[in-house]
Amino acid sequence: MAKKTYVIDTSVFLSDFNSINKFGNNDIVIPLKVLEEVDRHKKRQDSVGANARSFIRILDSLREKGCLQKGIRLEKGKGIVKVVTYDKVNERLPTDLTSGVADHMIIETALTVKATSAKSRKVILVSRDVNLRVIADSVGVDAEDYLVSQVVKDTEQLYSGIASVLVDDELIELFYAGEDIFIPKELVEEQELSLYPNIFLMLVSSSSEKKTALCRFFNFDTPISKLLDCKGNLNWGIQPKNKEQSFAFDLLIDPDIHLVTLTGQAGSGKTLCAIAAGMEQSISFGRMYERKESSKNIFSGSPKTSPIDTDLSYGKMVVSRPVQPMGRDIGFLPGSMEEKMLPWLKPIQDNIQFIMGNDKLALQQLMESGAVELEALTYIRGRSIANAFIIVDEAQNLTAHEVKTIITRAGEGTKIILTGDIEQIDNVYTNETSNGLTYAIEKFKDSAIAGHVSFKKGERSRLATEAAKRL
**234/167 same-domain check:** no
Q: What is the dihedral of CA 355, 359, 360, 366, to 10 degrees?
A: 30
**193/270 same-domain check:** no
CB-based contact 216:225 (threshold 8 Å): yes
- Non-local CB neighbours of 232 within 8 Å, separated by 6+ positions: 239, 305, 306
Average pLDDT taken over every residue of the chain: 84
| pLDDT at 170 exceeding the cut of 60 | yes
Q: What is the pLDDT of residue 457?
A: 81
Region 158-187: mean pLDDT is 94
Q: What is the pLDDT of residue 25?
A: 93
CA atoms within 13 A on the CB side of 251: 33
Q: Which residues of 366-396 are buried (b: 16+ CB within 10 A; e: fewer)?
A: bbeeebbbbbbbbebeeeebeebbbbbbbbb
Query: Reading across the β-sheet that carries 388-392, which strands appear in turn?
Result: 372-374, 316-320, 388-392, 415-420, 259-263, 450-454
Please tell me the total count of domains within the chain: 3
Q: Where are the beta strands (DSSP E) in 27-121?
A: 27-31, 72-73, 80-84
Burial class (CB in 10 A: 0-12, 13-18, 19+), 435: buried
Q: What are phi and psi of 241, to 5 degrees?
A: -105, -10
**464/320 same-domain check:** yes
Distance between CA 232 and CA 239 in Å, rounded? 7
**218/243 same-domain check:** no
> Residue 195: pLDDT band by 50, 70, 90 thresholds?
very high
Sign of the dihedral through C-alpha 374, 380, 383, 387: positive
Give DSSP secondary structure letters for 305-362.
-S-------BSEEEEE-----SSS------S-HHHHHGGGGHHHHHHHHHHHT-TT--
Sign of the dihedral through C-alpha 131, 134, 140, 145: positive
**124/157 same-domain check:** no
Q: Distances in Å between the alpha carbon of 177 and those of 30, 210, 213, 405?
A: 66, 18, 12, 45
**60/139 same-domain check:** yes
Q: What is the CATH number of the domain that holds 197?
A: 2.30.130
**217/262 same-domain check:** no
**75/137 same-domain check:** yes
**138/163 same-domain check:** no
Q: What is the CATH number of the domain that holds 251?
A: 3.40.50.300
Q: What is the pLDDT of residue 296?
A: 46
- Non-local CB neighbours of 231 within 8 Å, separated by 6+ positions: 239, 240
Distance between CA 297 and CA 292 in Å, rounded? 8
| pLDDT at 304 exceeding the cut of 90 | no
Q: What percent of the chain clears pLDDT 90, i.e. is strictly above it?
A: 49
Q: What are phi and psi of 139, to 5 degrees?
A: -105, 10
* Domain that includes residue 455, residue range: 230-470
Express each pLDDT in 100-129 by its tens digit.
889 999 999 999 999 888 888 999 999 988
CB-based contact 74:62 (threshold 8 Å): yes
DSSP state of 175: H
3-class SS of residue 107: helix
Q: What is the CATH number of the domain that holds 64?
A: 3.40.50.1010
Distance between CA 91 and CA 284 in Å, rounded? 67
**181/261 same-domain check:** no
Region 175-194: mean pLDDT is 93
**156/187 same-domain check:** yes
Express each pLDDT in 1-52 by its tens digit.
789 999 999 999 998 899 999 999 999 999 999 999 999 999 987 778 889 9
DSSP state of 303: P
| pLDDT at 320 exceeding the cut of 80 | yes
**54/179 same-domain check:** no
Which of 144, 170, 192 terminates a domain? The answer is 144
| pLDDT at 134 exceeding the cut of 90 | yes
Burial class (CB in 10 A: 0-12, 13-18, 19+), 457: middle
Which of 90, 118, 144 terminates a domain? The answer is 144
Q: What is the pLDDT of residue 201?
A: 96
Q: Which residues of 244-259 are buried (b: 16+ CB within 10 A; e: fewer)?
A: bbbbbbbbbbbeebbb
Which of 144, 164, 198 terminates a domain? The answer is 144
Q: For 15-19, 275-279, 363-367, which range has the lowest pLDDT when averaged over its residues?
A: 363-367
Region 185-204: mean pLDDT is 95
CB-based contact 422:158 (threshold 8 Å): yes
